């Protein structure tokens, strides 16, 4: 396909910045899996080269899929759960004493009524193709290594984006109507470790309290855009973390904001400097893009949309040009 430059909105010196100054749209693919019909989360494996995980949106069966990076060679993995309520994102990062876990976030709450939200943790060491094929042959579903219910410190929120950082901390960013100020919540690696111990007790019939997020900041994206971009929708639909650059990519319906971790919890975005604290790149993978992931070992991004041609999920690669 024809390559073209996606001009990033930034007007500063990039010499000391961790973020990508501009991105090139240089490849599109489709996920060859018709059962992935409402893609809402996506993450690359840190353990198995060229493996890309996918999750459907609300109302799906308890399952996930994985393909290669180009969306081919799909495999479905059913999960031993009663149901998913509203799965919106997934991530891969350190947890449960291992260097990489796949985490699925059942975090959507459009009506803002849920007393808690759920995260499902799977050690990647258990996700070898041999193990998964063995389960499929035996007619068994995959058991999560940890089912974690988490509540907010204030009230219910809707969210479509979270990530694990290189220390194993889990950060969630809310989705606010009309792109108004989002909330940033943190669940530390220590909290997850304690919750894993409590999970063992609960399975043995001992009840315990659910962990709570800590509010660590707010994020207002609309003021970061020039006035000519005032009509752009800044509702947050996905998030991804890059341990190489220590940056976070935040997806909206019409583009991507990339923000260094050191800037993310600064309280006043009005004081942010374009090109140092953030870069915005217009990008459209489809009509309702909700999944984003960094490509391992790079600053390149992959995004997807719920709605694709012929019922297949589109994948759009955004290559970083320094």
Task: Supply the DSSP symbol for 50.
Answer: T
28 is written with which tokens? 């599109």
What's the CA gap between 43 and 239, in Å, rounded?
Answer: 10
In this prediction, residue 12 carries a pLDDT of 37
What's the CA gap between 116 and 5, in Å, rounded?
Answer: 42
Strand partners, 63: 78
Question: 230-257 burial string, b = 16+ CB within 10 Å, else e?
Answer: eebebbbbbbbbbbebebbbbbbbbbbb
What's the CA gap between 264 and 290, in Å, rounded?
Answer: 20
Q: From its phi and psi, is residue 168 left (phi > 0), alpha (psi between -120 and 50) or beta?
A: left
Looking up residue 311, the CATH number of its domain turns out to be: 2.120.10
In this prediction, residue 267 carries a pLDDT of 64
Label residue 151 exposed, middle or buried (CB < 10 Å: 0-12, 13-18, 19+): middle
What's the CA gap between 42 and 196, in Å, rounded?
Answer: 24
In this prediction, residue 27 carries a pLDDT of 80
Question: 97-117 burial string, b = 16+ CB within 10 Å, else e?
Answer: ebebbbbbbbbbbeeeebeeb
In this prediction, residue 308 carries a pLDDT of 66
| Gap between the terminal Cα atoms of the chain | 22
Q: Which of 249, 247, 261 is nearest to 217 (CA)?
A: 261
Q: Contact, 105 vs 121, CB < 8 A?
A: no
pTM over 0.85: yes
Looking at the structure of the chain, the number of domains it has is: 1
Question: 180-208 burial string, b = 16+ CB within 10 Å, else e?
Answer: eebbbbbbbbebbeebbebbeeeeeeeee
- Print the domain residue range for 315: 4-321
Question: 23-41 burial string, b = 16+ CB within 10 Å, else e?
Answer: bbbbbebbbebeebebbbb
Tens place of pLDDT per residue across the chain (322 aa)? 333 334 455 433 333 348 999 999 988 899 999 999 999 999 999 999 999 999 999 777 899 999 999 999 999 999 999 889 999 999 999 999 999 999 999 999 999 999 999 999 999 999 999 999 999 999 999 999 999 999 999 999 999 999 999 999 999 999 999 899 999 999 999 999 999 998 887 775 555 678 999 999 999 999 898 888 878 889 999 999 999 999 999 999 999 999 999 898 776 787 898 899 999 999 999 889 999 999 999 999 999 998 766 779 999 999 999 8
Task: Supply the DSSP symbol for 296.
Answer: T
């Amino acid at each position: 396909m024809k390559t073209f430059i996606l001009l990033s909105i930034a007007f500063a010196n990039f010499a000391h910045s961790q973020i990508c100054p501009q991105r090139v749209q240089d490849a599109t693919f489709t996920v060859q899996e018709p059962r992935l019909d409402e893609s809402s989360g996506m993450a690359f494996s840190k353990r198995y080269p060229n493996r890309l995980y996918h999750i459907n949106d609300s109302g799906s069966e308890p399952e996930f899929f994985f393909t290669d990076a180009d969306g081919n060679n799909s495999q479905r993995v059913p999960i031993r759960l009663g149901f998913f309520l509203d799965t919106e994102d997934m991530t891969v990062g350190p947890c449960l004493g291992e260097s990489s876990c796949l985490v699925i976030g059942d975090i959507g709450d459009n009506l803002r009524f849920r007393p808690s939200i759920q995260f499902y943790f799977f050690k990647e060491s258990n996700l070898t193709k041999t193990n998964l094929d063995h389960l499929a042959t035996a007619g068994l579903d995959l058991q999560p290594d940890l089912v974690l219910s988490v509540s907010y410190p204030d009230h219910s929120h809707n969210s479509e984006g979270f990530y694990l950082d290189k220390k194993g901390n889990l950060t969630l960013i809310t989705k606010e109507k009309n792109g108004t100020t989002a909330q940033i919540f943190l669940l530390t690696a220590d909290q997850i470790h304690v919750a894993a111990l409590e999970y063992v007790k609960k399975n043995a019939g001992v009840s315990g309290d659910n962990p709570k997020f800590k509010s660590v900041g707010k994020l207002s994206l609309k003021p970061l855009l020039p006035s000519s971009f005032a009509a752009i929708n800044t509702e947050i639909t996905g998030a991804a973390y890059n341990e190489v650059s220590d940056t976070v990519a935040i997806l909206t319906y019409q583009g991507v904001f990339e923000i260094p971790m050191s800037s993310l919890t600064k309280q006043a975005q009005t004081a942010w400097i374009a090109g140092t604290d953030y870069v915005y790149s217009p990008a459209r993978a489809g009509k309702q893009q909700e999944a984003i992931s960094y490509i391992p070992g790079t600053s390149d991004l992959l995004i997807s949309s719920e709605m694709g041609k012929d019922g297949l999920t589109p994948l759009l690669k955004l290559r970083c040009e320094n």
